[in-house]
Amino acid sequence: MGLRLYNTLTRTKEPFQPIDADQVRMYVCGPTVYDFAHIGNARPVIVFDVLYRLLRHLYGDNHVTYVRNITDVDDKINERAARDYPALPLNEAIGKVTHETAAQYHKDVAALGCLPPTHEPRATEHIAGMRDIIERLVATGFAYVAEGHVLFSPAAMDSAGGMIPRYGALANRSLEEMIAGARVDVAPYKREATDFVLWKPSTEGEPGWPSPCGIAGLGRPGWHIECSAMSKHFLGETFDIHGGGIDLVFPHHENEVAQSCCAHGTARMANVFMHNGFLQVEGQKMSKSLGNFVTVDELLKDWPSEVVRFSMLKTHYRQPIDWTARAMEDSHVALRTFATWAKNPTRDVEPSAEFLEALADDLNTPRAIAELHRLVSTARQAATSLAERGPGARLALLTDADTLAAMQLTRSLQLIGIDIRAYDRDWFERRSTVNIEKIEPPKEKIEALITARNAARAAKNWAESDRIRDELAAMGIQLKDSKGADGQTVTTWEVKR
């Protein structure tokens, strides 16, 4: 079955038809670099990483171009820079903020297991491209110059006709509605309340570049124009997929479409617009004032990245997601099960067909995850008889079909960016280094108690044996008795969860 994607432009699920199957082109709006990435920022990064991986699987690794920008010119950045580095000249402070934030962002997304995009342009590298688009928009009457600003006119767009789409078509609202609903302070130089800024003048000390359209003095771009310029540069006037968070539908993507289509005389900027749903934290909107702002950096201190990623994918990308500690625990349990049963492929194995089909159905990751559990049941069917139940004995007993399922499990997880072996190692290290260092008493005492308990057990002194086990339990240590390969009793322990 072919790939089907939900398109915000048409509000339906459509078969995906790339413009050029030899080179699928996708653009995702990246971060404005002024603060640590939070889990809300992480959602589109992870979701579109899964899509990127799926597209690479379907069309070939070298046949997908993925562009995700870094917006490093924005008034929020200026404010942050002035606040954090008051002693520095503004432009120098801005440079520090954008470089530090971008470096942190790269660290975070790499830790989350996301592939780097094919291109990751910075807005400041593409000012010339923005000026070109602005010049064209003014020349063709879609934009005008006023008091050193350049403004885009949605009204002009709507009277253009021809191929040019209606302004508001993406967000599904009319110009009249937007005028009626405008609560914005309307700047005096705007002809209409809905006009938006393409270029604005910079004062002394603010970041500035030579202005377009004969405007004297330095200026800087408005918010939306950078994506129009960068997508054009790397992907052309019309490309396949444009993604981002649902909050970007309006005004960001609507305005990008307006700028791009009017400047290029095209009907579409991208054929498919995809938007991920919003995220809440423990049932509440995430906000700095509520103090429930969860950064990726902090989250990764507490959890293996695979747990974060899996938690994100347990909910379909278009649904709202409630980010809870409980959900993280659940993901952890599921990954433990997968780690127990996944087998490293010893030959070429594809992810299971049902798994691929679920992903191809508009990235139905919950359905895909259900398939992972089915692979687990298949894999363990051979190992259900009691006699062969020793730890480690299970995988050896798998039949060919079960082994295939166990290998498909690994491959399927890999396709959504989860390296189950890396997770297993991370989990083990976190337990053995982080937790065990912290616990009292130290390891030696635990070992000594276990030895004493096993001596009591050998003597069938159950009262003493149970007393020691309870003593350890009170310390947070869980014992696990099992039989080794030679039939000898082996007692292992772990920190109680």
Partner RNA sequence: GGCCUCGUGGCGGAAUGGUUACGCAGCGGACUGCAAAUCCGUGUAUUCCGGUUCGAUUCCGGACGAGGCCUCCA
Among positions 378-417, residues that touch RNA (CB under 7 A) are 380-381, 383-384, 386, 389
Asked if residue 149 binds RNA (CB under 7 A), the reply is no
Asked if residue 334 binds RNA (CB under 7 A), the reply is yes
- Which structure tokens are listed for 271? 């054929």
Region 236-265 residues binding RNA, contact defined as CB under 7 A: 244-252
Among 327, 405, 406, 450, binds RNA (CB under 7 A): 327
Identity of the residue, 61 or 176, whose beta carbon is nearer to RNA in the bound complex = 176
Tell the smallest beta-carbon distance from residue 464 to RNA (Å): 9
Region 77-116 residues binding RNA, contact defined as CB under 7 A: none
Identity of the residue, 312 or 404, whose beta carbon is nearer to RNA in the bound complex = 312
Tell the smallest beta-carbon distance from residue 36 to RNA (Å): 10
Tell the smallest beta-carbon distance from residue 60 to RNA (Å): 27
Identity of the residue, 62 or 432, whose beta carbon is nearer to RNA in the bound complex = 432
Tell the smallest beta-carbon distance from residue 99 to RNA (Å): 18
> x/- contact string, 154-183, with RNA (CB under 7 A)?
-----------------xxx---xx-xxxx
Region 59-78 residues binding RNA, contact defined as CB under 7 A: 76
Q: Binding segment for RNA among 122-130, 257-265, 410-418, 463-471 (CB under 7 A)?
A: 463-471
Quick one: 222 exposed, middle or buried, by C-beta within 10 A (0-12, 13-18, 19+)?
buried
Asked if residue 293 binds RNA (CB under 7 A), the reply is no
> x/- contact string, 31-60, with RNA (CB under 7 A)?
xx-----x-xx-xx----------------
Asked if residue 474 binds RNA (CB under 7 A), the reply is no
Among 198, 369, 405, 477, binds RNA (CB under 7 A): 369
Among 326, 444, 474, 486, binds RNA (CB under 7 A): 326
Identity of the residue, 266 or 295, whose beta carbon is nearer to RNA in the bound complex = 295
Tell the smallest beta-carbon distance from residue 62 to RNA (Å): 28
3-state secondary structure the chain: CCCEEEECCCCEEEECCCCCCCCEEEEECCCECCCCCEHHHHHHHHHHHHHHHHHHHHHCHHHEEEEECEECCCHHHHHHHHHHCCCCCHHHHHHHHHHHHHHHHHHHHHHCCCCCCCECCEHHHHHHHHHHHHHHHHHCCCEEEECCEEEECHHHHHCCCCCCCCCCCCCCCCHHHHHHHCCCCCCCCCCCCCCEEEEEECCCCCCCEECCCCCCCEEEECCCHHHHHHHHHHHCCCEEEEEEEHHHHHHHHHHHHHHHHHHHCCCCCEEEEEEECCEEECCEECCCCCCCCCEHHHHHHHCCHHHHHHHHHCCCCCCCEEECHHHHHHHHHHHHHHHHHCCCCCCCCCCCHHHHHHHHECCCHHHHHHHHHHHHHHHHHHHCCHHHCCCCHHHHCCCHHHHHHHHHHHHHHHHCCCCHHHHHHHHHHHHHHHHHHHCCCCHHHHHHHHHHHHHHHHCCCHHHHHHHHHHHHHCCEEEEEEECCCCCEEEEEEECC
Tell the smallest beta-carbon distance from residue 188 to RNA (Å): 16
Region 179-218 residues binding RNA, contact defined as CB under 7 A: 180-184
Asked if residue 17 binds RNA (CB under 7 A), the reply is no
Asked if residue 7 binds RNA (CB under 7 A), the reply is no
Asked if residue 374 binds RNA (CB under 7 A), the reply is yes
Tell the smallest beta-carbon distance from residue 321 to RNA (Å): 5
Asked if residue 223 binds RNA (CB under 7 A), the reply is yes
Asked if residue 325 binds RNA (CB under 7 A), the reply is no
